[in-house]
Chains A and B, each alone.
Chain A
Amino acid sequence: AQKVTQAQTEISVVEKEDVTLDCVYETRDTTYYLFWYKQPPSGELVFLIRRNSFDEQNEISGRYSWNFQKSTSSFNFTITASQVVDSAVYFCALSEALAGGTSYGKLTFGQGTILTVHP
């Protein structure tokens, strides 16, 4: 069975600090996708990034960066120079193949990490 673990339940930082959110996953699939979603206080889920299992390149998007390491089954998320608007719950998720195995869509979510950025 697939499993995603976000060991950090809550993180509190002061604005402009860098913060890393950890994500460790378990899967028997050789092909899978990893995701990060942001859930701000308003409640909606906002897609941040998708990474497939064959692409281990790190990715940077503005203040956000992601470190994918297959060897340790981790997909960590770093926010550089955090801002108050980054305060949210962040979810890591892992997809598995749908019936038939030709496409992917069933997501297994981690428990989420509550990030609070203080001014």
Chain B
Amino acid sequence: NAGVTQTPKFQVLKTGQSMTLQCAQDMNHNSMYWYRQDPGMGLRLIYYSASEGTTDKGEVPNGYNVSRLNKREFSLRLESAAPSQTSVYFCASSAAQGTQETQYFGPGTRLLVL
């Protein structure tokens, strides 16, 4: 049981390049989330997927797109990377079954946009 996994662990991009961050969970969770962490700002929600087949914007969705590929996988795409997107990206999942809500996080992806 690996929990939440993310690939890649580290990536360097040039401005304007695109890439997809991958996330998978093996806990049979319904809900999945993407956050970014910037110094002094805590984690901010980019997009979330309450259940398979649905996605919604979070606090900072501009410049990103997501795909809930199936129940296990939730990817985050940067179509045209900008230096402002340099950050650490965390994927999380939760059971989303009524009152039993705890989010479990992946190890993070460090992204540097030059």
Q: Interface of A with B (CB < 8 Å)?
A: 4, 9, 33, 35, 37, 43-45, 47, 50, 52, 91, 93, 95, 98-100, 102-112
Contacts and interface: CB of A to CB of B under 8 A. Distances in A.
A104 B101 contact: yes
A72 B101 CA distance: 24
Contact of B42 (A95, A98, A106, A112): A112
B45 interface: yes
Interface residues on B, range: 20 to 34
Could you say which of A45, A108, A112 has the most chain B C-beta atoms within 10 Å of its C-beta? A45
Given A98-B50, A103-B96, A43 B88 contact: yes
Could you say which of B41, B42, B45, B105 has the most chain A C-beta atoms within 10 Å of its C-beta? B42
Closest 9 CB pairs of A and B: A109-B42, A45-B105, A109-B43, A104-B101, A103-B96, A98-B50, A111-B42, A105-B31, A105-B94
Contacts of B98: 102-103
B50 to A, nearest CB: 5
Contacts of B108: 43-45
A37 B48 CA distance: 19
Contacts, number: 75
Interface of B: 31, 33, 35, 40-45, 48, 50, 56, 58, 88, 90, 92, 94, 96-99, 101-108
B56 to A, nearest CB: 6
A106 B96 contact: no
A102 B104 CA distance: 20
B48 A106 contact: yes
